[in-house]
Chain A
Amino acid sequence: MGEMQHLTARRMVDLEIDGEPVRVLEGSTILDACRGLGIDTPTLCYGETLRPANVCRVCVVELEGARVLAPACSRKVEPGMKVRTDSERVRHSRKLVLELLSSSVDLSTTPAAAGYLERYGAEPERHGPPAPADPGRDRRRAGHHEEPDGQTAATAASPIKIDNELYVRDYSKCILCYKCVDVCGEQHQNTFAIAVAGRGFDARISTEYVAPLPESACVYCGNCIAVCPTGALMFTSEHELRAEGVWDEARQERTDTICPYCGVGCNLTLHVQDNRIVKVTSPDDHDITRGNLCVKGRFGVQHVNARGR
């Protein structure tokens, strides 16, 4: 009764980060080790509930003896590793990564972006004025592009997608972190309604043949929105309140409770503003949901706001 299954002993690994010795569990990442030391490492594509995609490269660190930099989020510690997290080389790549992102993507609703840009002295504007949105972006073919004149900086901008009453998708804000695809796919939801389509700079998140969400496999669990780090994916409720200028996280109370539907017992975090539920999330660190919900838990709770009560 209630006995623990395995208590496998794990080895410890000694390494050095910025000259400081540190000892962490085998299997930890450099990011874990940095956090243990209180070193603030920028991350964008990293998600607590997901396997590291290690694609944004804003967390890169320098390893002594290595030809290239390594992503802290996914690189496992090794004995004797010597890590630099703030060398000129690291700062250069982080700065450039932020410039490249910021010059091609609208980061206005990415909470962490402004701080990072400032910290690394990124100057996205030196890559040129941003190019306007391209309605044809979703249909671009791999291996083909128009030769640029270099007078504007190409961007991911494309028209906002509103094709249902629950989600708003503004891929002009998408940094292609893969988190929505990963959470919709094998790592959690297993619905696979979206994938990365196209290639290179034209890569984008897409349904099959750019089908509107109601025609796609989407089941509106909202787990993609929960992991989106940039606000490219947003609940309609938040989108509309922002448009009205009413959205105010400072005035929102967050209360954890249990979903009123089936018997799984999912933890809901209700974001309440003016006695209305404006958003529903789930704690990343609870074993039942790991941050995920289904459509009922995510949206079906609006009945308490409904008229007729």
Chain B
Amino acid sequence: MFGAGGGTSSYQEIEETDVILLWGSNARDTHPIFFHHLLVGVHAGARLFVIDPRRTSSAQWADAWLGLDVGSDIALASTMAREIIHSGLHNRAFIERATEGFRDYAASVEPFTLEEGERLTGVPAEAIREAAHAFARADRAMICWTLGITEHHNAVDNVLALINLGLLTGHVGRYGSGLNPLRGQNNVQGGGDMGAIPNKLPGFQDIERDVEARAHFEAAWGVPLDPHRGWHLTQMFEGMERGELRTLYVIGENPAASEADVRRARRLLGGLDFLVVQDIFMTQTAEMADIVFPSSASWCESEGTVTNSERRVQRVRRALDPPSDARDDMWILTELARRLGHDWGAPTAEEVWDELRSLSPMHRGMSYRRLEELGGLQWPCPDEQHPGSLFLHGRLWLEPREGPPAPFSVVEHRPPFEALDAEFPIRLTTGRRLESYNTGVQSGRFRSPLHKGGAICLSPEDAERLLLEDAEIVRVSSRRGTVEAPVRIDPGLRSGLAFMTFHFPGEVDTNVLTIDATDPRSGTAEFKAAAIRIEKIVRRASDGSAKVGEPAPALGR
């Protein structure tokens, strides 16, 4: 956000805020311990608005749940913004002092009257108005989001739309107010911090624009660096499609199960000249590999750090000896380098970290000793006297402001790539459950009574209309493929909306259905919006053969 990719606030702040917009996130299930902090805030009196197409377990805690239609987030945000502006509730002083581009932004949201917002999102105008006013009038307010915002073909615009709301009301850069993407993986923040982004060096230093930073790295590493950005995941698959990318080295990912339109992904992975997979398990992707490097589990069989959603760098430690064949990731990498003719020695995790600190100013104050003593530190932490940063962008409130103004962004409402029609009349959205995790590589291996397997979740209304019973196997089709799945009746769904997870690819290969319409900037696919149809499978008693029934009638929205 405005330069550094990280949530602006700390967990403790949500305990002391006044209004929370939880947008496109079912944190109750996907970030359970963060939700503890959120509920401390709620019990202390904070008002909670949950914006989600599904009435999730998180939404059930809300003072108001705004069940917008899938992919209408920008329309909702723009409607709220217009309502805030027209009610005179925008923070004029903050806008003037700390932002730029307000005039264009205000003009861009002008068409989004409450009525128009209701038409585009499905959410009653009164509820939109209530949320807008509550958010704008709050002394402190937070917006938190996850993949419901970012797994869309216009992911970046969605995020910008939320940032706009924060700038409009001045709910950023102060204790208890902020903009917080909740990270989905234990080190997705750390990965970005370390430069695993096409155009960034560690510490969010721009490889193309920040010549000085690049020079530091070149000096430290003794090699010239390619001054051009690399590819993100989607671009890599596009490269494979074009035949430009022929060799892939995958570390701790399972794209053969997790990619949208997974059949295409498998085809492309299968067409590579050479695929190397480094993982702790023989995943679907590893099965396809030419070479597999069995690795130790980074979080309990080796030393290092990870960074969480509040930018806190914390130590991971070795508690177990890895299985005999498995090697530490760092060992594999240095060994690989050695065999490629580069002697990187055998550095300890701390030595690698200290090198990072010497090159990334925002990490400089985080010695291992301090990380141990303080239970982690939040970046930026520029020196060893610095206590770490509870929240970001306090500079915007300084008089005079430090640094550049924060820009409003004009964004456009663009509905999901795939519209519903008579052939595929049901909106499929995907997500995650409490007890499972992504493709189930790790979470599929414990005996939880909560594991219920893959299924297609339908509203009671749709199940009734389609004459389907709970647990009945149905055929689910999108333009990309067909899977069979048991029906689960989910009272949290509205008519016309279906939900699936991709936790059990061996049982229900959900990503056969999803669409790889991708945001060109972030590279994330639109997992949240596909068009499907559901067909009853009529079993003949005599020979047991199955017959697909008539396509389901159009449900409309």
Q: Residues of A at under 8 Å CB distance from B? A: 1-5, 164-166, 186, 188-190, 213-214, 218-221, 253, 255-267, 270, 272, 275-277, 286-290, 292-297, 299-304, 306, 308-309
Contacts and interface: CB of A to CB of B under 8 A. Distances in A.
B33 A266 contact: yes
B34 A257 contact: no
A257 B299 contact: yes
B31 A2 contact: no
Contact of B318 (A221, A255, A303): A255
A287 B434 contact: no
Contacts of A295: 434-435, 448, 450
Interface of B: 11-12, 16, 30-34, 36, 39, 43, 175-176, 182-189, 280-282, 294, 297-301, 306-310, 312, 314-321, 323, 326, 375-376, 378, 380, 386-392, 394-395, 434-435, 437, 441-450
B394 A258 contact: no
Given A2-B388, A262-B183, A219 B175 contact: no
A302 B435 CA distance: 13
Nearest to B185: A263
- 8 residue pairs, one from A and one from B, having the closest CB atoms: A263-B183, A265-B308, A255-B319, A294-B32, A2-B389, A303-B445, A165-B447, A214-B449
A260 B281 contact: no
Contact of A308 (B281, B308, B321): B281
Contacts of A293: 33
Given A3-B390, A255-B318, A262-B185, A219 B434 contact: yes
A4 B320 CA distance: 38
A300 to B, nearest CB: 5
Most chain A beta-carbon contacts within 10 A, residue among B176, B281, B319, B394: B319
Given A261-B437, A294-B33, A303 B184 contact: no
Counting chain B CB atoms within 10 Å of each CB, the highest count among A256, A260, A270, A301 belongs to: A260
A265 B314 contact: yes
Given A288-B33, A294-B434, A304 B320 contact: yes
A217 to B, nearest CB: 11
Of the candidates A164, A165, A186, A296, the one having the most CB atoms from chain B within 10 angstroms of its own CB is: A296
Contacts of A276: 320
Contact of A261 (B282, B380, B391, B443): B443
24 contacts: A2-B388, A2-B389, A2-B390, A3-B390, A5-B176, A5-B390, A219-B435, A219-B450, A220-B448, A220-B449, A255-B300, A256-B315, A258-B306, A262-B185, A262-B186, A263-B184, A263-B187, A264-B33, A265-B310, A270-B319, A288-B312, A296-B443, A299-B448, A302-B446
Contacts of B11: 264, 287-288
Given A263-B184, A288-B308, A1 B446 contact: no
Contacts of A261: 185-186, 437, 442-443
Nearest to A295: B435
Given A258-B314, A294-B33, A302-B445, A220 B281 contact: no
A263 B186 contact: yes
Contacts of A290: 36
Given A165-B447, A290-B36, A294-B434, 14 more contacts: A1-B392, A2-B390, A219-B434, A219-B435, A220-B449, A260-B300, A264-B309, A272-B319, A277-B320, A295-B435, A296-B434, A299-B448, A300-B442, A308-B282
Contact of A309 (B188, B326, B375): B326
A106 B378 CA distance: 46
A304 B309 contact: no
A263 B189 contact: yes
A161 B204 CA distance: 53
B314 A296 contact: no
Contacts of B306: 258, 265
Nearest to B321: A275
A255 B317 contact: yes
Contact of B317 (A186, A214, A257, A262): A257
A258 B315 contact: yes
A259 to B, nearest CB: 6
B442 A1 contact: no
Contacts of A1: 380, 389, 391-392, 394-395
A201 B444 CA distance: 42
Contacts of A259: 186, 299
Given A304-B280, A309-B323, A265 B376 contact: yes
Contacts of B314: 258, 265, 267
A287 B386 contact: no
**Centre residue among A2, A5, A259, A264 by max chain B CB count within 10 A:** A264
A304 B437 contact: no
Nearest to B326: A309
Contact of A166 (B176, B184, B380, B447): B447
B105 to A, nearest CB: 26
Contacts of B183: 262-264
A218 B391 CA distance: 34
Contacts of A266: 33
A186 B61 CA distance: 12
Contact of B300 (A219, A304, A308): A304
